Structures are given as structure tokens and as C-alpha cells.
Amino acid sequence: MLKTAMHYSHELLREIVTTGDHVVDATMGNGNDTLFLAQLVGVSGKVDAFDIQKSALLATQEKLARHPEQVAVNLHLAGHENAATYLQGKKIKAAIFNLGYLPKSDKQIITLPETTKKALTALLEHLLPQGRIILVCYYGHPGGKAELDALKSYCNDLPQERYNVLAYQFINQKNNPPLLLCIEAK
């Protein structure tokens, strides 16, 4: 069966991320992607995870505590647009964004086109060759369509000499099925 955007995002990460890699979770939320990445990179790797909500950081901390072997995670209560400050020139193998709002939380706190694009530009500078940045775009909420359009346009403009960009979406589903975008550095 074809994979959902969320499952396919993990497959795209699993294909390239290995033990010892440095990776980024740009939208920590409840920490599902943070834990997944931590398990891929192992104790010798590193995950930098970002969110602007304290509740997200606490939920992720709690999730990681149930997996004490996952020690290589740095949780930042900071916007992903500031990622470069924390990466300090280090190269990354992958990053993932899950856009929109945190389910069962304040629906007013959403990712925004300008900060998402700023974060992408910064992270692309740190991306290793064959590294991938994945965006899972949810856009059914107010403001979501504007962010989706801005990111499609951003990705359309990336030079094909430097990047491959994939779009993955179920096009016959109701209720705004998420769009997955994957940018791969050449």
C-alpha cells in the first residue's frame, strides 16, 4: 500500500541517515520525529530539535525520557529560523519540518511562511551532499495555504544543478491531504 506523507518522510530519512550523523528536527511538537531521528543517529550522532512552545519541549523531553538510551539530543526552545546559531558551522545530513500547528494544542500557534523560508535557507547552507530536507506541509488551517504556496514557489526556484526536489501527495483525497516536499542536495 502507498505510504502516508508522514510514513514516507521517515522512509526518506531512513534511506540516508546513519549512526553518527548530525540531523535537525525543525518542529519538535510532541517529539515523534525527534525520537525517530535519535534512534537513527544513535549515541554517536546528534539531533538538534527546535520549537517555540515550552509545552512541545516538555512533551519531547518526556518522550525521550522513556528511551534513556537516546542521549544525543539537544532540545532548543527557539524558532527554527535561528537554527544557524545553534549549528555553529556544522554540516547536517538531514532535517525535517512538520508544518502547521501542534495537534490538540493552540491552533493559533502555527509555522509561518517567512520564518519557515528563513530556516530552510539557513539549513540548506549546512546540508551535506546527498543530504535531505523534508517538509510535511499541512495546510487545512487558516494561514496554511499561504505557507504551502510560498514553499512550493521556494522549491520551484531551487536550481536543479544543486538540488533534486520531490513532491509527494495523494491527489484524490478530501480534506487537504498533506504535501511532502523533499529537497536533496547533489
Question: What residues make contact with ligand SAM under the rule CB under 6 A?
Answer: 27, 29-33, 50-53, 56, 79-81, 98, 100, 102, 109, 111, 115
CB of 12 to ligand SAM, least distance (A): 15
Nearest partner of 135 among 3, 33, 31, judged by Cα: 33
CB of 186 to ligand SAM, least distance (A): 27
Instruction: Identify which of residues 42 and 113 has a Cβ nearer to ligand SAM in the complex.
Output: 113
Continuous H helices in 42-178: 54-65, 83-87, 113-126, 144-156
CB of 161 to ligand SAM, least distance (A): 30
Instruction: Identify which of residues 35 and 164 has a Cβ nearer to ligand SAM in the complex.
Output: 35
| Cell 539537544 -> residue | 74
Instruction: Identify which of residues 33 and 184 has a Cβ nearer to ligand SAM in the complex.
Output: 33
The CA-based diameter of the chain, rounded to the nearest angstrom, is 43
| Cell 523531553 -> residue | 61
In angstroms, the CA 64 to CA 146 distance is: 33
CB of 159 to ligand SAM, least distance (A): 26
In angstroms, the CA 34 to CA 185 distance is: 22
Instruction: Identify which of residues 63 and 152 has a Cβ nearer to ligand SAM in the complex.
Output: 63
What's the burial of 158, exposed, middle or buried (CB within 10 Å: 0-12/13-18/19+)?
middle
CB of 160 to ligand SAM, least distance (A): 28
Instruction: Identify which of residues 99 and 155 has a Cβ nearer to ligand SAM in the complex.
Output: 99
φ, ψ of residue 10 to 5 degrees: the values are -70, -35
